[in-house]
Chains A and B, each alone.
Chain A
């Protein structure tokens, strides 16, 4: 049953050195505050996975938390490349980074297989694509009914899934809407989960019967962190801080500038800083 905790306690209780962890979010609802907490606590040797690793994965890699990354698109969305990720891969700074690279379809199917308790995902993909040459975890199977050759990848079953959601109720049920990405699948595929939320409400009023809800008994820890997705956004609460993504490209381009920024904005801070960061981005109405 979901436990309400401070973010520091939620990360300390659930995320260990050497764990595999998915900080998921697809442009929307990216769990920045939780990733910063993991960095502050100095987690090491993590295997991190995400379809669209962006700024927070650049930060985790640059701070030396990551041993291996499983991903399908490693860019700063709409801006360009991830410079700390590139520095790790091209120059081994701060240390060598192992990668396992897929397509979006493969990762989405692999999370879904994880949530469904299957060992692998099967889909029509990767035909003629060169990732099949460099990633031994992409294989092909024959459909036993039609003989069609289909791609297979191992299910993704992280030790920990970390997501940001709109709100939880007092029982610990979690609600998210808008672009929901693969977060539901990631939580259901994981052994443990941490959910940061904008607020806790007495009950969810007026929800559609088909809304995306994670029942309290599927979630391990909940921490209230208003603004916890910034500079990503939370539907109905605040908009995306596009200028912060543009700014990141400059910060991450230089090792010293990066380390200074991380000290000032992550290491010397606490999660309550996030509420102020979204004050100017609040959604009207």
Chain B
């Protein structure tokens, strides 16, 4: 068996969460790598959509931004941004939204707006972009992020995008009837949402990751399912396809 990094394991585990039938709204960064790995391995017919308006895109290299020409050149069709948000996202055509974030809490609420006070920010982050409506309009939400106590916090400084709010029925109480965050894929584990409390619960630990590793890198008391399994290690094919994708991407971006 070949060796692999925690980031590679995260990307592979995130890719496996997607199916061939999904219509997926792709966030930039870690989600983009996972979504394209899924397309290049077990889900060749998955529809990938980026908020720049590209529908059914199949980039050969990972885009640096959500609006790279590569996305448009390889898409079935490219629509305007208002059409993307109105007909395709708000219209309920997207099965999965795949998001990352700067700060995350145990109920899948995400902060990408500000660290510190909104009016007196310690660190001003880019803001919500498409996320506030992706979070409520997609059928369900997958989140992928590396674990750290800075990123996985007890209380968010700002709720940019709604997950399960305060847990339980809080999401539905906001008038939101899509599933919301159902899965969180990190560099250490796969977490799933508890059906009652709506709190993220570890269901699968990646090879070599311990419960303590998980507990030490989140800012809340981590919950574990009764039966925690070990995430199957990346297959030789998954690793090869992922590494080729990154190598092509690096060559393309350096070549400019």
User: Taking beta carbons and an 8 Å cutoff, which residues of A are in contact with B?
Assistant: 26-28, 51-52, 71-75, 77-79, 81-82, 85-86, 89-90, 101, 103-105, 108-109, 111-112, 123-131, 134, 148-149, 178-182, 184-185, 212, 233, 235, 239-243, 245, 281
CB within 8 Å of A: which of B103-125? 109, 113, 118-119, 121-125
- Tier of interface size on chain B: 35 or more
- Whether the Cβ atoms of B162 and A129 lie closer than 8 Å is yes
B195 interface contact, C-beta 8 A: no
In the complex, which residues of chain A have a beta carbon less than 8 angstroms from the beta carbon of B54? 179
Q: How far is the CB of A55 from chain B (nearest CB, A)?
A: 12
Q: How far is the CB of B93 from chain A (nearest CB, A)?
A: 14
In the complex, which residues of chain B have a beta carbon less than 8 angstroms from the beta carbon of A181? 52-53, 67, 80-81
Which listed residue, B63, B65, B84, B128, touches A72 by the CB 8 Å rule? B128
23 A-B pairs with CB atoms under 8 Å apart are: A26-B52, A27-B52, A72-B127, A73-B127, A73-B130, A74-B126, A81-B125, A82-B126, A104-B81, A105-B89, A108-B82, A108-B86, A109-B85, A124-B137, A127-B162, A128-B136, A128-B176, A179-B69, A182-B80, A235-B69, A242-B64, A242-B253, A245-B65
Q: How far is the CB of B256 from chain A (nearest CB, A)?
A: 5
Most buried by B among A71, A131, A179, A182: A179
- Whether the Cβ atoms of A86 and B126 lie closer than 8 Å is no
User: Taking beta carbons and an 8 Å cutoff, which residues of B are in contact with A?
Assistant: 28, 51-54, 63-69, 71-72, 78, 80-82, 84-86, 89-90, 109, 113, 118-119, 121-133, 136-137, 158-162, 165, 171, 174-176, 253, 256
Which listed residue, A73, A111, A123, A124, touches B128 by the CB 8 Å rule? A73
In the complex, which residues of chain A have a beta carbon less than 8 angstroms from the beta carbon of B160? 129-131
Most buried by B among A26, A104, A233: A104
In the complex, which residues of chain A have a beta carbon less than 8 angstroms from the beta carbon of B161? 129
